[in-house]
Amino acid sequence: MKAGIIAKPIAAVILAAALIALVLLALGASPFGVMGALWQGAFGTWLAFTETLVKAMPLVFCGLAVAIAFQGALWNIGADGQLIAGATLAGALGPALTHWPHLLAIPAMLAAGVAGGATWGGVAGWLRARRDVNEIISTIMLNFVAAQILSAAVHGPLMEPSRAYPKSAPIAPGAELHLYFAPSRLNLAMALAVALAAGCYLFLFRTRAGFELRALGRNRRASAFFGIPIARLTTRTLALSGALAGLGGAVQVSAITHRLYETLSPGWGYEAIAVALVARLNPLAIVATAIFFGALDNGAQAMQRAEGVSPVLVQVIQGMVIMILLAFDTSAWSGMRTVFAGAPTVPAANTPAAASDA
């Protein structure tokens, strides 16, 4: 059982690689050349490796956001909107922090990100808790709202002073997160992401609220019977989930982009759903899966330069890896199934899987 947790994903990756090789052969490319370029681009040099971490960073924040919510069977599809909400608030605040010392400006940026994301997630949570609005729908809709607000902001009130491009004014130097080992873009937010992963793990598995959240996610009826405060937990969890994603947005602005762009997020919030599911909603595993997905993103560009293969192929690779991983372990989907089918009614004791876990 324990060995399977490690061995299965590796087997899945190897199988995926074999299938990708077939696709590449069909396209007339050299599988080893392409795969080599992908590896080189992702891990081949010190700089490539640090860029992989840069790509992985927002996926860790969003992956944690998704995992926390999914553990409670709260299907937050809105990490992208929450990240954008956090980034927008931080990006709007950043230019105004000109005379702030670094030690105050950075926490202010992060707080803005938390506030923006928590608001975005909290609204969906409140709607679910008090008005019984399906959070899948509300979070997806709020994604559009956040994206359009960002777009309107960088075309309007937050547009840079020269008004030449749809981007905001740069944030104050004091609000920029220091980058180490130039030209790498390593920064302390990466350590923050790892610390948050540990924090989320402790929250889920060592605190009372985390326990109640997991109980809620596995049996809503029993949770109601045993006095778990479902409404409060729903609102707070989605606010917390949004705060994690929003923090990721603020960090992105503070460390990497230093200003707002219309296309700030390439869809991290959606990719994070895959990151979280492949990690089986385990916060610690999310760090690893995020780096894996970040490596694919990063390696894709090198692959295109070296072998002339479209980076779109990386999305094909990602899709196949996820499907094969899930095929290797159906339990990742058992949570999702409850959304569509209600509480499971199959007596688990009669199934061989449940009995062999004993």
Of the listed pieces 259-267, 271-279, 314-322, 348-356, which binds other proteins according to CB under 8 A? 348-356
Other CB atoms within a 10 A radius of the CB of residue 210 amount to 19
Other CB atoms within a 10 A radius of the CB of residue 353 amount to 10
Contact, 314 vs 274, CB < 8 A?
no
Residue 6 engages other proteins in binding (rule: CB under 8 A): no
Nearest CB to other proteins, comparing residues 10 and 346: 346
Residue 231 engages other proteins in binding (rule: CB under 8 A): no
Cα(115)–Cα(239) distance, integer angstroms:
9
Nearest CB to other proteins, comparing residues 182 and 349: 349
Task: Specify burial of residue 220 (Cβ count, 10 A radius: 0-12, 13-18, 19+).
Answer: middle
Q: 3-state DSSP call for residue 186?
A: strand
Residue 221 engages other proteins in binding (rule: CB under 8 A): yes
Which of 144, 180, 181, 226: binder of other proteins (CB under 8 A)?
A: 226
* CB neighbour list of residue 90: distance below 8 Å, 6 or more residues apart: 109, 110, 112, 113, 116, 171, 249, 250, 253, 254
Q: 3-state DSSP call for residue 279?
A: coil
Is the four-CA dihedral 42, 48, 53, 54 of positive or negative sign?
Answer: negative
CB of 210 to other proteins, least distance (A): 8
- Tokens standing for 77? 């599809």
* CB neighbour list of residue 47: distance below 8 Å, 6 or more residues apart: 183, 184
Question: In this structure, which amino acid lies at residue 324?
Answer: I
Of the listed pieces 66-74, 222-230, 253-261, 280-288, which binds other proteins according to CB under 8 A? 222-230
Nearest CB to other proteins, comparing residues 45 and 334: 334
Cα(115)–Cα(160) distance, integer angstroms:
24
Number of residues in contact with other proteins under rule CB under 8 A? 33
Residue 25 engages other proteins in binding (rule: CB under 8 A): no
Residue 132 engages other proteins in binding (rule: CB under 8 A): no
Residue 345 engages other proteins in binding (rule: CB under 8 A): yes
Residue 162 engages other proteins in binding (rule: CB under 8 A): no
Residue 219 engages other proteins in binding (rule: CB under 8 A): yes
Q: Scanning the structure block, which residue is given the tokens 């004993």?
A: 358
Residue 181 engages other proteins in binding (rule: CB under 8 A): no
Other CB atoms within a 10 A radius of the CB of residue 211 amount to 14
Cα(275)–Cα(279) distance, integer angstroms:
6
Residue 357 engages other proteins in binding (rule: CB under 8 A): yes
Residue 222 engages other proteins in binding (rule: CB under 8 A): yes
From residue 197 to residue 216, the character string flagging contacts with other proteins as x (rule: CB under 8 A) and all else as - is: ---------xxxx-xx-xx-
Residue 280 engages other proteins in binding (rule: CB under 8 A): no
Cα(7)–Cα(5) distance, integer angstroms:
6
Nearest CB to other proteins, comparing residues 25 and 343: 343
Nearest CB to other proteins, comparing residues 178 and 232: 232
CB of 46 to other proteins, least distance (A): 40
Cα(213)–Cα(216) distance, integer angstroms:
5
Residue 183 DSSP class: T
Nearest CB to other proteins, comparing residues 207 and 310: 207
Contact, 253 vs 90, CB < 8 A?
yes
For the segment 323-342, give every residue that binds other proteins (CB under 8 A): 341-342
Of the listed pieces 79-87, 132-140, 180-188, 219-227, which binds other proteins according to CB under 8 A? 219-227
Which of 27, 191, 224, 284: binder of other proteins (CB under 8 A)?
A: 224
CB of 356 to other proteins, least distance (A): 4
Of the listed pieces 27-35, 191-199, 224-232, 263-271, which binds other proteins according to CB under 8 A? 224-232
Residue 225 engages other proteins in binding (rule: CB under 8 A): yes
Give φ, ψ of 179 to 5 degrees.
-105, 135
Binding site for other proteins (CB under 8 A): 206-209, 211-212, 214-215, 218-219, 221-227, 341-350, 352, 354-358
